[in-house]
Structure 1
Amino acid sequence: MQAYKWTSLRWTLPLAACALVSNSFAAEVIKIGEINSYKAQPAFLEPYRKGMELAIEQVNKSGGIAGKQLKLVIRDDNGTPGDAVRAAEELYAREKIDVLTGSFLSHVGLALTDFAKQKQRFFLASEPLTDKIVWADGNPYTYRLRASTYMQVAMLVPEAVKLNKKRWAIVYPNYEYGQSAVATFKKLMKEKQPDIEFVAEQAPALGKIDAGSVVQALADSRPDAIFNVLFAADMGKFVREGNTRGLFKGREVVGLLTAEPEYLDPLKKEAPVGWTVTGYPWYSINTPEHAAFLKAYQAKYKDYPRLGTIVGYNAIQSIAAGLRKTNGSADTAKLVEAFKGLEVDTPFGRITYRAQDHQSTMGAYIGKTAYDAKLGRGVMVNYHYADGKDYQPSDEEVKKLRPAAAQ
């Protein structure tokens, strides 16, 4: 019988026993690897990170998954596809992660989608919006949480049609997300309003907008309405320059992502008024699910949530729900199967991951922008929640859009 020795006020176990304890402890943790553009897109991703941390804390406090605790291991992709893939390889090789999630920028999300396909690893794309992730470049291993560009544009189109404007100008960031959103807007608007005209397009590089020249070019085209797909700092510069030059006076504007607090709040008194937009009116959503989430978030962070917070929170809750179905197994084949038709309770209500294209039914809020003098910033009014399940192509269309090997 081996004796235990008392050394420096602690027990010293024999080596074999130490290894056993170490392995046993490791088996009690499920590592979630998360890759994102934290340095490139801090306005969205710092709140996103807090949402993930809140969800991790809640899952672990409730007993974890099959007795195992969740652990988050985060890497920054510097906003580039190559760095994202290298980070994924490092997370598996060195950190021994069990599940991969994350990405914000669409071209980075596509790189991780391809990584999942090549390595046959489960991947939950939490935020990137490009339709290619679940359609043209879809694969059996990749699921996507947030409503895609197609879905969000489809939510806005009925409102745009109601405006009954013929001449439209378009501005968007010149990369996958912006290009995809504009292509969908043109297609769906043409179907609903055949006489529509697109009289101008401005597509500045992401993060490099020359707002003065962009605004002037749009004004010169004399549009009746503008479709804006810019976000983050680009949107702020565009709005300020547009206000200065009177671009928006007497013109309707439809904006994708515009009323997300991370982008609207920094504009303060310069916030646009009367735009038809997608966003997140956290301050006036009156549902039990959102009230419980809001209370927990504010108690932990003494701050208000942004849309990024919801996405981060829902990503972890989705992974937890999938792991519960597998009884704690992170095996790729089991997780892929578990996510087919997976239902997850979120602050926006229950969502489902569609088996036919691996897209969740998470929706978005659609409404108008306004200025709240008491708060000193822009808000969202006259809004409604658009359930993602109502803004998807038919199953037959999805079959045509998605590779046969991914179905």
Structure 2
Amino acid sequence: MNKTTNWLTAAAVLWATASSVGAYAQGVIKIGEINSYKAQPAFLEPYRKGLELAVEEINSSGGVNGKKLELITRDDNANPGDAVRVAEDLISREKVDVLTGTFLSHIGLALTDFAKQRKFFFLAAEPLTDKIVWENGNRYTYRLRPSTYMQVAMLVPEAAALKKKRWALVYPNYEYGQSAVATFKELLKAAQPDVEFVTEQATPLGKVDAGSVVQALADSKPDAVFNVLFGADLSKFVREGNTRGLFKGRDVVSLLTGEPEYMDPLKDESPNGWIVTGYPWYGIQTPEHAAFRKAYEAKFKDYPRLGSVVGYSAIMSLATGMKKAQSTETEKLVKAFEGLSVKTPFGPIIYRAEDHQSTMGAYVGRTKNEGGKGVMVDYRYLDGAKYLPSAEQVAKRRPAD
């Protein structure tokens, strides 16, 4: 009886071991992705398509470390508390291997802190606030998209070259907008000491009272305007500004406005001559972008937006990091991402060890209303690495890991 029992026990152990090995060999890598899909569809629907394209390409080529990728997405309702609850559910119930995503800066900061508390790897794909990699930075969080500081630093030389003294500022009144305006004031004042900031209009996100804002800007009689509004707020601002003549004879420097997500809805109201960051998908001739655009258009029968590039590059970054680490374990991924080089539609980028910020750049140019549609002209790609502070400067702003 004892011999039979021992044999059955040994067989059960062998079967269980073989089953677990087989499950591992045939397993998947689960990527938990969190975003404000319902609140910010203009950017995030193309972004989701970029995610899907990257996952499809990676899986069709054999996956990562012998495993297929599985993407599990959740909506955060544009609420930091909801984002944290969803993140906990993804880790505890769905057993995801990594977290990525977020669009709004305050959501990104909430998950940055969550990653620190849970000691769990988080790639912030889109949120732009500098705090994610500097003041609130931690060893478990990396960020893909060029930050607020980087994009403003790209625009300031253009703004200074205008030699305008009186500037008006308009921005959404939350972390991203506040950070963008603070950086613009600091960098422009350094480049042009005699500059004056004659008014600031801080508007509720998604609830801009465009008429009163435009009137307040006009009443301050500025020589130029720095705008940080985006999405539906931008459309309302442009419409009222055109109607009331705010932009006539005035230069405008505008963050993000050249992105097709925000330019396309303006249609024949698109402004002329604004200095912007954006994404002229129709004119980028590099081999990397041509291959991405061809694959994207073939799959979705649509042209890419900037969100598409960000989503695609986020998944490619995770896959590249996992291959380098030969693991999805958090500590191994943290080390693998230090100095990690990743191929993207904008060319190769590097995740800096000193602040976990990628060197992805941005296109800077001017807007043009061409046949009733807004496009970017006179644009050029600026390498993000050239618009980042030094390791010594970062050390003064970022807490030690």
Aligned to 1:49: 48
> What is the rounded CA distance, in whole Å, between the counterparts of 2:136 and 2:127 in structure 1?
13
RMSD (Å) for aligned C-alpha atoms: 1.5
Q: 1:19: how far off?
A: 9.4
- Alignment correspondent of 2:238: 239
Which residue pairs with 2:343 in the alignment? Answer: 345
Q: 1:22 to 1:163 in 2, by over 3 A?
A: same
CA distance in structure 1 between the aligned counterparts of 2:187 and 2:362, rounded to whole angstroms: 18
Matches of 2:383 and 2:312, distance apart in 1: 18
Tell me the equivalent position of 1:300. 299
Q: Distance in 1 between matches of 2:225 and 2:391?
A: 32
Residue 330 of structure 1 pairs with residue 332 of structure 2? no
Q: Shift in Å at residue 25 of structure 1? A: 3.6
Change in CA separation of 1:320 and 1:192 when aligned onto 2, cut-off 3 Å: same
1:1-59, CA deviations, whole angstroms, 9 ceiling, x for partnerless residues?
xxxxxxxxxxxxx9996995577345520000000000000000000000000000111
Q: Write the distance in 2 (CA, Å) between the matches of 1:182 and 1:233.
A: 20
Take 1:20 and 1:178, find their aligned partners in 2: how far apart are those partners? 55
Other-structure match for 2:101: 102
Q: Partners of 1:245 and 1:21 in 2: how far apart?
A: 71
Could you tell me which amino acid in structure 2 is paired with residue 384 of structure 1?
Answer: R
**TM-score, length basis structure 2:** 0.95
Which residue of structure 2 aligns with residue 389 of structure 1? 385
Amino acid at match of 1:130: T
Matching residue's letter, 1:393: P
| Percent identity over paired residues | 72
- Deviations 1:299-329 (Å, cap 9, x if unpaired)? 00000000000000000000000000012x1
1: distance between equivalents of 2:21 and 2:296?
34
What corresponds to 1:262 in structure 2? 261
CA deviation string 1:34-87 (max 9, x = no partner): 000000000000000000000001111111111110110000000010000000
Give the Cα–Cα distance (whole angstroms) in 2 for the partners of residues 19 and 76 of structure 1: 37
Aligned to 2:69, what secondary structure does the other structure show? strand
Q: Secondary structure at the match of 1:129?
A: coil
- Corresponding residue for 1:377? 373
Deviations 1:150-173 (A, max 9, x none): 000000001101111000000000
- Structure 1 residues 13-162: aligned runs within 5 Å: 21=19, 24-25=22-23, 28-162=27-161
* Structure 2 partner of 1:6: none
SS at match of 1:33: strand
Partner of 1:284, secondary structure, is coil
Deviations 1:157-214 (A, max 9, x none): 0110111100000000000000000000000000000000000110011001000000
- 1:77 aligned partner, one-letter code: D
Q: Distance in 1 between matches of 2:105 and 2:272?
A: 29
Q: Distance in 2 between matches of 1:205 and 1:152?
A: 22
Residue 400 in structure 1 maps to residue 399 in structure 2: no
Distance in 2 between the 1:165 and 1:24 partners? 67
- Structure 2 distance, partners of 1:26, 1:106, is 36
- Amino acid aligned to 1:392: L
SS of 2:364's partner is strand
State the Cα distance separating 1:131 from its structure 2 match: 0.3
Distance (whole Å) between structure 2 residues aligned to residue 43 and residue 69 of structure 1: 29
Which residue in the other structure is 1:181 paired with?
180
- Write the letter of the residue equivalent to 1:398: V
CA distance in 1, matches of 2:133, 2:86: 22
Give the structure 1 partner of residue 209 of structure 2.
210
| Paired residue secondary structure (2:172) | coil
Q: Which residue of 1 aligns with 2:248?
A: 249
Residue aligning to 1:313: 312
Q: Deviations over 1:349-380 (max 9, x none)?
A: 0000000000000000000000121xx31000
Q: Does 1:368 align with 2:366?
A: yes
Tell me the SS of whatever aligns to 1:184.
helix
Q: Distance in 1 between matches of 2:156 and 2:288?
A: 28
| 1:270-298 Cα shifts (integer Å, max 9, x gaps) | 01110000000000001000000000000
Distance 1:117 1:235 in 2: 34
- Tell me which residue corresponds to 1:10: none
Encode CA deviations 1:133-163: one digit per residue, 9 max, x unaligned: 0000000110000000000000000110111
CA distance, structure 2, for counterparts of residue 74 and residue 281 of structure 1: 28
TM-score, length basis structure 1:
0.94
Instruction: Give the distance between the partners of 2:294 and 2:15, measured in 1 at CA.
Output: 44
Q: What is the alpha-carbon distance in structure 1 between the residues aligned to residue 359 and residue 367 of structure 2? A: 25
C-alpha separation in 1, matches of 2:76 and 2:139: 24
Partner of 2:3: none
Aligned AA for 1:333? E
Alignment-derived partner of residue 9 in structure 1 = none
Alignment length, in residue pairs? 389
